[in-house]
Amino acid sequence: MAVEKITMPQLGESVTEGTISRWIVSVGDKVNKYDPLAEVMTDKVNAEIPSSFAGTIKELVAEDGDTLAVGEIICYIETEGGGEAEATADAPKEENAPAPAAKSEAPSTPAAQEDADAPNKRRYSPAVLRLAQENNVDLEQVKGSGAGGRITRKDIQAVIDSGNIPTADSKPAAAQAPVAEAPKAAPAAPTAPSAPAAASAPKAAQPVNVPVEAGDIEIPVTGVRKAIAANMLRSKHEAPHAWTMIEVDATNLVEYRNSLKSEFKKKEGYNLTFFAFFVKAVAQALKEFPQINSMWAGDKIVQKKDINISIAVATDDALYVPVIRNADEKTIKGIAREITELANKVRAGKLTSAEMQGGTFTVNNTGSFGSVQSQGIINYPQAAILQVESIVKRPVVMDHGMIAVRDMVNLCMSLDHRVLDGLVCGRFLARVKEIIEKMSKENTSIY
């Protein structure tokens, strides 16, 4: 049998890593091709990783909660298809008869015996390396409980919790003594670059020492929350955020939508929300100001042809950004339908990775929570995000000094100042304002 590896897939555009939220299979389980192996979370999507082969799970390299880069190995599968590979692997044990004699002639050392008993001891996952490095744990002195003596994250955590942390300086003298015999007695030693690997592992942020008192509740950080935090941090660190806001009179829009909503719901089966009108207005303005529909690519700016609007959909513990593709080509009714369908998929846990990819600009309906002013963090690597706030009644000074009560809404835009400047953003927002203020029964069709 051959042993195949399964790696962390790229589950979305700009996604560079994923977190194993739950293994669906265990070592020894038989799987068919395309069977789900694990649930993985990123900042954009929660998805299942399918098996690329039919066979038996040989080893789970990553554990629940581990975050791995795209392309890193997560497990090994022993595939069906004859016993040639297995026979070849076992041949040295049975054909090399002189091996036992040679072994008896060589001096036996504890290190050599440990290598024989735990062939996987030095195969460290990224999570194990990071945790060991952060706490100065000498992995050579840790006994692994995983398959083949592999050291797991739980093993490292148990050592840390015990307070008796083995360091390189604390290694017993007896273990350090037979230096000259090491190459002969322990041939596996050169394949254990634990120190260089640990040094190359990215150093995670040190935990903050927050005092926990009686009555305080400690809530573990989930994988999806870690992924969201990492993406937000990247956006704030890499993109110099600027912010601007415009006030829009939505009185005509409110009257028009309210006159349609009951009949529309009865006819179409879903709600005609204000948000659909705003998404349509933004898509139209993006077509007229394509600079806004751009992304920073290091040595160039990529101006996207398609106008794909990402919309933010929140659940109790996470935030997802499904995409309305070619929003400029859709009617208000079509946009309203997609908003409803995508939001339902998010809340039912049925959103696919394909439905999260390709967004070029994000519109966030913060007004649904009653917000009137906010500064959004850009959905990396897009160049801007627009927050649509609550529509509220306010006294407004009209022409000729008259005061009237109007339905007003604030539109708040965060922009990547590497890509966009205030002038083009100001003109873009002014155009969105103009489109919204002209929406009425006479000027706008929802079909």
pLDDT digits (tens, 9 = 90+) for 322-334: 999 999 999 999 9
Residues 56, 78 contacting (CB under 8 angstroms): yes
Is position 208 within any domain?
A: no
User: pTM here?
Assistant: 0.63
Q: What angle do CA 206, 212, 216 make, to 5 degrees?
A: 125
Q: Which of 235, 234, 315, 227 is nearest to 20 (CA)?
A: 227
Integer CA distances (angstroms), 381 to 43, 213, 314, 416, in order: 13, 40, 20, 9
What is the predicted pLDDT for the residue at 105?
Answer: 47
**Which of 72, 85, 71, 59 lies closest to 2 in space, CA to CA?**
85
Write out the two tokens for 419.
Answer: 């890509």
Note the pLDDT of residue 293: 98
pLDDT digits 0-9 by tens, 399-420: 888 999 999 999 999 999 999 9
Residue 335, in any domain of the structure: yes
Nearest CA to 414 out of 253, 240, 200 is that of 240
Q: Find the range with the poorest average confidence among 5-19, 83-97, 377-391.
A: 83-97
Residues 26 and 147: beta-carbon distance below 8 Å: no
Catalytic residue of the set 90, 117, 317, 421: 421
What pLDDT shows up at residue 251?
Answer: 97
237 part of the active site? no
Per-residue pLDDT of 120-174, as tens digits, reads 666 666 667 777 777 788 888 888 877 667 787 778 888 887 777 877 666 655 4
Q: Are residues 193 and 113 in the same domain?
A: yes
Tell whether 248 and 292 lie within a shared domain: yes
Contact of 49 with 73, CB cutoff 8 Å: no
Indicate the residue type of 441.
K
* Per-residue model confidence (pLDDT) at position 375: 95
Q: Identify any residues that bridge with 323 across adjacent strands, giving them in sequence order.
A: 310
Residues 143 and 275 in one domain: no
CATH number at residue 89: 2.40.50.100
Q: Which of 90, 117, 306, 417 is catalytic?
A: 417
End-to-end CA distance of the chain: 59
Specify if 368 maps to a domain.
yes
* pLDDT on residue 148: 65
Q: Is position 417 annotated as part of the catalytic site?
A: yes
328 and 195 assigned to the same domain: no
Looking at residue 85, what is its pLDDT? Answer: 39
Answer for the pair 239, 296: CB distance below 8 angstroms, yes or no: yes
Lowest mean pLDDT among 107-116, 282-291, 382-391: 107-116
Q: Are 103 and 247 in a shared domain?
A: no
Residue of higher predicted confidence among 374 and 207: 374
Question: Any idea what the CATH number is for the domain that residue 416 is in?
Answer: 3.30.559.10
Highest-confidence range of 208-222, 226-240, 375-389, by mean pLDDT? 375-389
> 3-state SS of the chain: helix, strand, coil percent to 5?
40, 20, 40
CA 409/CA 372 separation, integer angstroms:
8
Q: Do 56 and 29 form a contact (C-beta atoms < 8 A)? A: yes
Instruction: Give the number of domains in the chain.
Output: 2
> Which domain covers residue 380, as residue numbers?
226-437
Are 179 and 247 in the same domain?
no
Asked if residue 210 belongs to a domain, the reply is no
Per-residue pLDDT, 181:
44
